[in-house]
A and B are shown apart, each in its own frame.
Chain A
Amino acid sequence: MARSTLVYRRRWRADAGVQAHLPGLMAALARSPVAAIGGDVATILAELLANLRHAAADTRTVDMQVAVRARGSAAVLIVTDTARGFDPVTAAGAIDPAADSDGVAASGRGLKIVVSLSERQRYRRLAGCNGFACRVRP
């Protein structure tokens, strides 16, 4: 198995939105071995955040741990959160696609973007935490 390098790890607060995190994330990615796909990594994180935030509307915490590892020229993105069980890709049908604003991100368009930019997506629920990982295409 190829060795991987930790590129970025932070706690994200979903209620702060993605914009607060973008400068730090983009700067870390620009200095990393996966700089060429930094925009794709940031895009996927933004869409996951939108989906998790939407699904966690039960007001429980939606703090997330976000980690990006470089593996060769691809990035492996790992997101964990303690909101209610929710796979942001396969559970998309549970979201009302007619909803405005948040719903636009949380419906088909955002998920199409996640799937288009990544090769593999994996969801696991363990000890009350959601874990989502995907490999971003080089």
Chain B
Amino acid sequence: MIDFRVSEDAGATALIIRNEYLTQENAAGLPAVIGDHFDPGKGFILDLTAVTFIDSSGLGAIVRAFKDKLIMEGITVRIAAKQVEKLFYITKLDRIFRIETR
């Protein structure tokens, strides 16, 4: 189950994920959560700073959530954990999303 809150961040919608882990066990619900809060007319920040561990299912859920959006490159993913950042680079998702590290 995805634990999250939504806030405004410099005019963009920030979806803040509060789960420590984002894996096969809980990632399936993420596309729906993103879909509910994504506004194509605004910037969007996916804040993963509380996430310390992600696997390919977590990454897949993020990609699935945005794959039908036309402005994927305008989306910022905010990351704190080294493991999470590394997986975005290994899978080349840093070329699709704007990565912001904390």
A→B interface (CB under 8 Å): 17-19, 22, 26, 39-40, 42-43, 46-47, 50, 100-102, 104-105, 109-110, 112-113, 116-117
Residue of A nearest to B86 (CB): A39
> Roughly how many angstroms separate A39 CA and B87 CA in the complex, as a whole number?
10
Instruction: Decide: B82 and A109 in contact? CB cutoff 8 A.
Output: no
Interface size bucket, B side? 20 to 34
> Roughly how many angstroms separate A19 CA and B52 CA in the complex, as a whole number?
12
Contacting residues, chain B, for A19 (C-beta < 8 A): 21, 23, 25-26
Instruction: Decide: B91 and A109 in contact? CB cutoff 8 A.
Output: yes
Contacting residues, chain A, for B57 (C-beta < 8 A): 50, 101-102, 104-105, 110
New contact pairs (14) apart from A104-B60, A105-B56, A110-B56, CB-CB < 8 Å: A17-B24, A18-B23, A18-B25, A18-B55, A43-B83, A46-B24, A47-B56, A101-B60, A104-B57, A105-B57, A105-B60, A109-B60, A112-B91, A117-B90
Instruction: Decide: A113 and B91 in contact? CB cutoff 8 A.
Output: yes
Given contacts A17-B23, A22-B21, A46-B23, contact A104 B61 (CB under 8 A): yes
Instruction: Decide: A105 and B24 in contact? CB cutoff 8 A.
Output: yes
Instruction: Decide: A43 and B55 in contact? CB cutoff 8 A.
Output: yes
